[in-house]
Structure 1
């Protein structure tokens, strides 16, 4: 499929797809006319890349991680100990962010209740 089709299917801009290629996260073949041609599996790969970016990982970490993940490039490779340790650090960071967001939501709930009580009071 061409870059525009992959962009449409994955919901990612063509600029992002070119960036993923520059970072070694995605590959394409070139037609005789120089246009990018992606395999059907590229859509799954792009979705996986998007998930990892959303988790807060940088492109260098994603490039290291992708070959170790199932359903990408035919199955998992054996990750080294450093990668596993780095991923545990990332998971802990995400857990802290979740905790922070839950505390923020609780604070907002308290403010909403207080504000609602003041508005309802005569």
Structure 2
């Protein structure tokens, strides 16, 4: 599929898709005329990238993590510093998750209180 279709299917602008390619997060095939051709699995890849960015990871970390996520069942990561970095990022994500959960609970309590009134 062309970049426009991928953009429409994922809700991500063509400009951002080109940026993801520049950052090494996406690798579309190139046709003879230079046009990008995106395979179907890249729709899910873009959604995964958006989710990881939304969780606060940088494109640098995402670039390192994406291959690992694809091969999670075959977990063999030899670089201890990389594993430590992923652990730290996971810890940061867990802290943000706890904060979001707390905020959601507070909003639910507020809504419940004002709906009764």
Query: Where do 5+ consecutive residues of structure 1 fail to align?
Result: none
Which has the greater radius of gyration?
A: 1
Give the 5 Å matches for 1:25-104: 25-70=25-70, 78-79=76-77, 80-104=79-103
Q: Cα distance 1:76–1:55, how it changes in 2: closer, same or farther (>3 A)?
A: farther
Structure number having the greater helix percentage: 2
Q: Which has the higher contact order (CA 8 A, sep 6+)?
A: 2
How far off its partner does 1:86 sit?
1.4
Query: Where do 5+ consecutive residues of structure 2 fail to align?
Result: none
How far off its partner does 1:43 sit?
1.1
Q: Secondary structure at the match of 2:70?
A: coil
Instruction: Output the TM-score relative to the length of structure 2.
Output: 0.77
Please give the alpha-carbon distance, in whole angstroms, between the structure 1 residues aligned to 2:45 and 2:84: 23
Q: Secondary structure at the match of 1:25?
A: coil
Q: CA RMSD in A?
A: 2.7
How far off its partner does 1:39 sit?
1.6
Q: Secondary structure at the match of 1:33?
A: coil
Number of matched pairs: 113
How far off its partner does 1:21 sit?
0.4
CA offsets 1:88-110 (integer angstroms, 9 cap, x no match): 11121122223333444565647
